[in-house]
Amino acid sequence: MKIKTAAKINLALDVTGRLDNGYHLIESVFQTVGIYDEVTVELSGEGISLSCELPEMFAKSDSIPCDERNIAYKAALKFAEETGIAAGCTIHIKKGIPSQAGMGGGSTDAAAVLWCLNELNGKPLDRDRLAALGKTLGADVPFFFTGGTAYVGGIGEEITPLPVFSGRTLLIAKGKEGVSTGEAYARIDALEAPLHPDTTGLVNALKTSPETSHEFFGNLFEQAVSLREVADIKAAMLASGALNAVMTGSGSAVFGLFSSEKEAGRCANALRGKGYFAQVCETAANSFTVI
């Protein structure tokens, strides 16, 4: 089975507390977007093998392990443990989603492997069990079994679908700078009197007046993670007519919402000329597409 599996962005992202076990509580609106990895899963006799195919631009800057350290490999192991199905598989991932971008590239691959293995083995797990299994791999993984637009709370496991916000023109761009997720959360903990994004306002806007929703986009991590490239990309998007431009996740990709694909395309060309990854896409209604 071969599928395209979508990236995600955070239309809003707030951190509201920290648990005793170190996990942080979030309030966020997740949105799948039309930038994809291609994941191929084939059942085989024994064992798990994984290979990766990276564009030259990613290979220069992104370190992606293509062995048992990869979350997609771990997903196959978890599926076998959960179901008792011992058949092996081969996994091939063709990357289209930049890593260390706050776009869930590893999480969506893990979800895709779980979904494909479940399909190929006669669907022994329902969506809730797949999501619960995904949670053991990473906080973002369960969302991809819902996809589209969703409010996400807790540590990422509380997922409530929202009205579809698909078909909106986005430009997503990323430089080479980055901050590890752990370091980003440590900086969040050190913030004094931060300005929190209005996640509730965004949820209400998506339900009642989606054309105004961009007014509520925001990300608390922008106050904690100060990256020159993020500021440069945001400024370029806003100067080119973006309705809003916000960093996603703990960084370092930035998305801009545009009212016209032409404006987004011009900005993308300008950003590529400065050496950035830049891709025009749309908000997407689903995570997985069989190809």
The tokens describing 182, both together, are 């752990």
Query: Alpha carbon of 127 to those of 93, 132, 144, 177: distances in Å?
Result: 23, 9, 10, 36
Angle of the 71-83 helix axis to the 127-135 helix axis, nearest 10: 130
Angle of the 127-135 helix axis to the 105-120 helix axis, nearest 10: 140
Q: CA-CA distance, 106 to 276, in Å (whole number)?
A: 21
How many residues make up the chain in this entry? 291
Locus of tokens 């959960």: 82
- Clarify whether 128 is annotated catalytic: no
Q: CA-CA distance, 13 to 27, in Å (whole number)?
A: 6
By DSSP bridging, strand 48-53 and strand 88-94 are parallel
Q: CA-CA distance, 249 to 100, in Å (whole number)?
A: 10
Q: CA-CA distance, 91 to 40, in Å (whole number)?
A: 6
Name the catalytic one among 4, 140, 174, 234.
140
- Clarify whether 232 is annotated catalytic: no
The tokens describing 19, both together, are 């648990």
DSSP assignment of 152-207 equals EETTTTEEEE-S--TT-EEEEEE-S----HHHHHHHHHH-SS-----HHHHHHHHH
Q: CA-CA distance, 203 to 167, in Å (whole number)?
A: 18
Catalytic residues: 8, 140
